[in-house]
Each structure stands twice: as structure tokens, then as C-alpha cells.
Amino acid sequence: MRRFAIRRRSMECMRSALFCATVLVLLCPVAANAGGDAAIPDAPSSLLPANAVLNVTATPISSHPSAVSPEHSGVVDKQFLILSAISTATIFADSYTTTWIGQNYRAHGSGPCTMEGGEPLLYGLHPTAGRSYAVGAAMAAGAITASYLAKKHLPSKLKWMWPAPLLYETGVSVHGFSTNLSRCNP
């Protein structure tokens, strides 16, 4: 009976991942078409004769580096930092409670709360603390990087979508944390 519950949960996770992938696939053409029908400009090399000499000089913009460069000041704001902190906290709360599963298995052998049910391919059937935290760190870094790049590079019509990776990871991690907490409270 337990095998069917694990299989059902893994199917639910697969459905949600497939849904997210479908949404991304459907939104990519919208983002790609945001530039309109503008023609691609000619490459600068096609405008130069074959034997042309290029002179390149570099001059420093300022001698005092600032803490946040001007190009990042609009991206890393208070809202971005707060959402990143919340997402990272929930991811590591999920990782912490996931370590209980491996600890229960090593302490008691087979029994209740000794096998990862949510993401066994990601964490392993009996996750170790190192693997749980490594997965959590990678998830946090991926969500923050995706949100940063989305906020920096999305066209103005789609700027509202930048918190999506952080909110998705927060939701998944809160679900994992609450499931682990209800099933495996030590």
C-alpha cells in the first residue's frame, strides 16, 4: 500500500514538473517575439574591408569601485533580497527536515519515515545530510540566478514574471517541509 502512495506522489510531482515545462515552452515564443519584427542588423565585420585595422583602447570608467555597480542597482533591490531570503530559508528548512529521513533509516532500519517519498531520484532513498544540503544549495542558487536574469533581461511587458522561480521553489519547499514535518517529526 505504501508503494502506491509513493508512486502516486511521484506522479503528482511529475505532473507539476510537466505543467511547469509546458508553461515555459508556451511562454518562450511570447518572450522571443517581444522584439517585434525588427530585422537583425548586419554584423560589424561585414561592413569593414578585409584588410582593415581595428584600434581598440580601454579607459577605466571610475577609479573607485562602488559596492553595487549601476547596472545591478535596479536588479538587486529590497524586494529581490527579501524574496531570495524567504526562498532560501524555505529550501533549507526542507533540506533540514529531509535529513530526518536518512537519520531515521540509519538509527532504526526500515520503518515509517525511512524512505524519501517526494524526490527519491534527487535526494536518494535514504538521504544523507550532505546530499540534502547540497541539493538545497543548488536549488537556491538556481532560483536566485534565474530570477536575477529574468529581472535583468526580460522585456518590460514581462518584467512581472521575474519572481516566478523564487515563488515556485518556495512553494515546493514549503510543501516538502510540511510533508516531512507531519510524517517524520523526531
**Among the ranges 40-44, 122-126, 132-136, which has the highest mean pLDDT value?**
132-136
Lowest mean pLDDT across 22-26, 84-88, 171-175: 22-26
pLDDT at 120 exceeding the cut of 90: no
- The whole-angstrom separation of Cα 178 and Cα 94 is 8
CB-based contact 94:137 (threshold 8 Å): no
Other CB atoms within 10 Å distance of the CB of residue 70: 9
The domain segmentation of the chain, as residue ranges, is 73-184
Share of the chain above pLDDT 90, in %: 26
Closest CA relative to residue 166, chosen from 100, 73, 88: 88
Torsion of CA 180, 182, 183, 186, to 10 degrees: 80
